[in-house]
């Protein structure tokens, strides 16, 4: 793992109130909540050993990889190509469109195998307030909860978890057509965990998010070519809805050109699935 990857080797996902940076190695190494300017939960981008991270990637660290956005959206796709197959990690946050500030924010991470067999490893190591605040860990059949002063994080996943100090790690082996999910929710100290979601439920959230971004781009005043639409969506995701203003400049991001995820001629609907 690259301990300090450059900013250009990251993608941005957000919900219009906060956002996370995901490296091309499948590592969330920057995430603050409930706002862009609040203390961090993952900040390995600044301090790898003490900042905290959330990794979801294949076991083979030397496999080739490619990071792109799903066309016309801020849904980030990181593709891994180890020797025995092809796997993808999809990262996104559901946009909060009501405008009112909220303390609950959810990062969705889905892994799926396009071809062959791929073993994915996961490690979740939150470090609250730039590593200055301690936390406790509770593991339950649905995942794990990390509790710190004023903030609780719930990790819901079907991937078997093992404890490592106050952190968790796990692994899952998937074959072509299979998928798994990890849902990371940040909320107030006294708030309960959200209802657990199945892989199908998470997939439904994914297509609703895709619909939102594609509708937003269709109704915007932009007339730029398709090659500039993904940067527009990622730039929008870095804008705070309650307090209008850009949190950061989004990096230029390539639009996915794979044949099985090519831009559809009509708006993507929930029933659509990429052709393989």
Q: Which residues fall within 8 angstroms of residue 141, CB to CB, at 6 or more apart?
A: none
Residue 272 has pLDDT above 70, yes or no: no
Question: In the structure, what pLDDT confidence band is assigned to residue 18 with cuts at 50, 70 and 90?
Answer: very high
DSSP 34-60: SSTTSPEEE-TTT-TTTS-EEEEEES-
pLDDT value of residue 244: 54
pLDDT value of residue 228: 53
Q: State what percent of residues in the chain have pLDDT above 90.
A: 71
Question: In the structure, what pLDDT confidence band is assigned to residue 242 with cuts at 50, 70 and 90?
Answer: low
Helices (H), the chain: 199-219, 229-237
pLDDT value of residue 196: 86
pLDDT value of residue 234: 62
For 121-143, write each residue's pLDDT tens digit.
999 999 999 999 999 999 999 99
pTM: 0.84
pLDDT value of residue 61: 75
Residue 93 has pLDDT above 60, yes or no: yes
Distances (CA, A) of 101 to 17, 183, 274: 7, 21, 35
Cα dihedral: 233, 238, 239, 245 (round 10):
-130
Residue 22 has pLDDT above 80, yes or no: yes
pLDDT value of residue 190: 80
User: Is the CB of residue 237 less than 8 Å from the CB of residue 247?
Assistant: no
Q: Which residues fall within 8 angstroms of residue 239, CB to CB, at 6 or more apart?
A: 16, 245, 246, 247
Tokens of 244: 């209008």
For 31-71, write each residue's pLDDT tens digit.
999 999 999 999 999 999 999 999 999 988 779 999 999 99
């Amino acid at each position: 793992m690259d301990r300090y990857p450059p900013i250009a080797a990251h993608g941005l996902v957000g919900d219009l109130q906060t956002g996370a940076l995901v490296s091309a190695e499948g590592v969330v190494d920057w995430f603050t909540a409930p706002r862009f300017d609040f203390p961090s939960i993952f900040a390995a981008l600044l301090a790898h050993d003490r900042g905290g991270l959330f990794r979801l990637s294949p076991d083979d660290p030397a496999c080739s990889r490619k990071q792109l956005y799903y066309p016309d959206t801020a849904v980030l796709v990181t593709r891994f190509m180890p020797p025995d197959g092809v796997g993808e990690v999809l990262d996104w946050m559901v946009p909060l469109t009501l405008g009112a500030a909220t303390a609950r924010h959810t990062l969705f991470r889905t892994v799926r195998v396009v071809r062959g067999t791929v073993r994915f490893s996961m490690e979740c190591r939150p470090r609250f307030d730039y590593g200055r605040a301690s936390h406790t860990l509770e593991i339950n059949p649905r995942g794990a909860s990390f509790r710190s002063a004023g903030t609780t994080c719930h990790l819901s996943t079907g991937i078997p978890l093992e404890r490592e100090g106050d952190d968790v790690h796990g692994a899952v082996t998937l074959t072509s057509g299979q998928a798994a999910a990890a849902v990371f929710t940040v909320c107030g100290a006294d708030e309960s965990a959200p209802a657990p979601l199945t892989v199908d439920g998470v997939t439904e959230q994914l297509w609703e998010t895709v619909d939102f971004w594609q509708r937003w781009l269709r109704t915007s005043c932009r007339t730029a070519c398709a090659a500039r639409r993904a940067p527009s969506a990622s730039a929008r995701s870095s804008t705070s809805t309650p307090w209008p203003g850009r949190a950061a400049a989004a990096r230029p991001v390539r639009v996915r050109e794979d044949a099985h995820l090519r831009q559809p001629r009509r708006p993507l609907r929930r029933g659509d699935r990429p052709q393989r």
